[in-house]
Amino acid sequence: MRQVTSGFSQKILLAVVTAGSLSGIASLPAQASSHREAPFITRHPKVDAADFYMFRSYEANRSAFTTLIANYSPLQDAYGGPNYFSMDPDALYEIHIDNVGDGKEHLTFQFRFSNTNNDAQFTVGGKKVSIPLVINGGAIDGVNPAGLNVRETYTVTMVTGDRRTGTRQAVTNATTGSTTFDKPVDYIGNKSIPDYAGYAAKHVFAVNIPGCATPGKVFVGQRKDPFVVNLGETFDLINIKAPATAFDPNAEKAGHDDLAMKNVTAIEMEVPTTCLTNGKEAVIGGWTTASLRQGRAINPTPSSTGAASKEGGAWTQVSRLGMPLVNEVVIGLKDKDQFNHSKPSGDAQFINYVTNPTLPALVEVLFGSAGVKAPTNFPRNDLVATFLTGIKGVNQPATVTPSEMLRLNTTTPVSATQNRLGVIAGDSAGFPNGRRPGDDVVDIALRVVMGRLCVLSIGCVPADAPAGSIDFTDGAYLDSSFTDNAFPYLKTPVAGALKR
């Protein structure tokens, strides 16, 4: 790749990385935020980051907290037994916070998982025999119930400084002092778990976070995937209705949501906001990663006492997600795995993919007859501000290194009524100022990439965006009614077996 030397030119060119990512959104508008986006990650679905959310908590009386949600293992079919969708005990899941603006982590929350086989047995013909069901040997109604065959637990560690060499401290249960938390089993069905909502709620734990005077919350478990996406038609050469130059109120709901019956596993924390900021800068950046050990030896003779594989070596990052829709729709196929291994501070290495973005031109080719023209301003400074540095006066820190991550201004008040289109619709508490589960990032990104900010004279002028006023949509509608108004916000997952 071409090397960028230094100074302002480096920042501008790096900024175009995100411009290109948004251009990718324009060509694949309904792609899921990060579902099976790179070749290597398709072989490791348990560490595939699906979506990342970061927002001021809008639950009543919780506005002093910030909620972090990292979704993993996407496209879960609710009926996926008998193993369902446990997390990988050989993986390291992390949520990173940059509270300085230099593109590096300064706080990291690390999650490690463990599975315990309780070896439930039945007496058959006078002999005790282990049951074949992986999870349940009876009804499940509480934390670690008697009928549970496999117990899944996790720990949370806060790292201050570099994620590998910084100071490590345990996050503990505020009630019991324990460092171990239980994860609810997936929603097998109504017979196994008659009240899943109540059962899952017992796994929302108040936690003591090092350095925080006020307890936060943690939850890890299966949830209904909040993302909406029209996958099939998107990959069929964007086989959707051409955008209308005049607003069509029916267009935003005309598409098919291919995730309507899919679940996802959510890693969630609610943290006092003052514990995330550095006391001087109100804007924080965030992203999630997953790592695996460098080495794996397959056991040729696994048994009840011998694991199927042995992991070893240094942690190696294999998944990364901050802003939605970057890796899958802008990074070239040969470098998608490389992006998943990279850090925000090193994003200059992907510049060649975005200095001359071609995907808006593809949209023009596909929909030119409907009056669609690609923006003409290069570099796309409107997208630089939106996705790489933050928008001045909205979510741009005082000092910033251009890098791809979500950025949240923690002083922006919580919206009394959320607007699904966030900042471009006047809701300054929405995407791209952080991201709430009800923000329709696909429609927002479509309109921004095709020049909506130019229409608003932010980073460019209206003449730069001939199609900037078109209300682009993928037809898969999303707003705040798709989620709950209290932690953990994401709705109860789809049941594996419906009540008869």
Q: 187-233, pLDDT tens digit by residue? A: 999 988 999 999 999 999 999 999 999 999 999 999 999 998 777 77
Report whether pLDDT(361) > 80: no
Q: At what angle do helices 7-27 and 441-449 cross, to 10 degrees?
A: 120
Residue 8 has pLDDT above 70, yes or no: no
Identity of the highest mean pLDDT range in 31-45, 156-170, 182-196: 156-170
Domain ranges across the chain = 35-482
Question: 143 or 327: whose pLDDT is higher?
Answer: 143
pLDDT band at 329 (very low <50, low <70, confident <90, very high): low
Residue 13: pLDDT band with limits 50, 70, 90? very low
* Gap between the Cα atoms of 324 and 387, Å rounded: 10
489 pLDDT exceeds 70? Answer: yes
% of the chain at pLDDT higher than 90:
56
Task: Identify which of 165, 37, 56, 41 has the alpha carbon closest to the alpha carbon of residue 104.
Answer: 165
Q: 4-13, 141-150, 321-330: which has the highest mean pLDDT?
A: 141-150
Q: What is the residue-averaged pLDDT of the chain?
A: 86
Highest mean pLDDT among 19-28, 31-40, 209-218: 209-218
pLDDT, tens digit, 9 for 90 and up, residues 296-305: 999 898 877 7
Query: What pLDDT score was predicted for residue 39?
Result: 74
Higher pLDDT, 262 or 339: 262
The lowest-confidence range among 148-152, 306-310, 414-418 is: 306-310
- pLDDT exceeds 60 at position 4: no
Q: Which residue has the higher pLDDT, 106 or 451?
A: 106
The Cα 28–Cα 257 span in angstroms is 15
The mean pLDDT of 121-130, rounded to a whole number, is 91
Amino acid identity of 335? D
pLDDT tier for residue 381 given thresholds of 50, 70 and 90 = confident
Task: Give the contacts of 194 (CB within 8 A, at least 6 positions apart).
Answer: 139, 141
- 136 - beta bridge partners? 148
User: What pLDDT shows up at residue 136?
Assistant: 78
Q: In the predicted model, is pLDDT for residue 352 greater than 60? A: no
333 vs 335: CA distance, rounded Å = 5
Tokens describing residue 80: 């996926």
Query: How far, in Å, are 22, 239, 272, 283, 290 from residue 18 at the CA level?
Result: 6, 25, 30, 19, 22
pLDDT for 241: 67
Residue pair 104/343 in contact (Cβ under 8 Å)? The answer is yes
Element of type H or E holding 181: strand 181-182
Q: Which of 117-131, 189-203, 322-336, 364-378 has the lowest mean pLDDT?
A: 322-336
Residue 198, phi then psi, degrees to nearest 5: -70, -40
% of the chain at pLDDT higher than 70: 87
Closest CA to 432 of 1, 7, 138, 55: 55
How many other β-carbons are positioned within 10 Å of the β-carbon of residue 198?
12
Choose the most confident range, by mean pLDDT, from 126-135, 165-174, 472-481.
Answer: 165-174
pLDDT at 430: 97
Q: Where are the beta strands (DSSP E) in 253-357?
A: 262-272, 283-298, 309-321
Task: Report the C-alpha gap between 180 and 169 in whole angstroms.
Answer: 14
Higher pLDDT, residue 486 or 380: 486
Res. 140: pLDDT tops 70? yes
What is d(CA 339, CA 436) in angstroms, rounded to the nearest whole number? 24
Q: Answer yes or no: are the C-beta atoms of 323 and 387 closer than 8 Å.
A: yes
Output helix, strand, coil percentages for the chain, rounded to the nearest 5: 25, 25, 50
Are 429 and 414 in contact, with CB atoms under 8 Å apart? yes
pLDDT digits (tens, 9 = 90+) for 284-300: 999 999 999 999 999 89
Query: Whose CA is closest to 205, among 229, 232, 176?
Result: 176
Burial class of residue 321 (count of CB atoms within 10 Å of its CB; 0-12, 13-18, 19+): buried
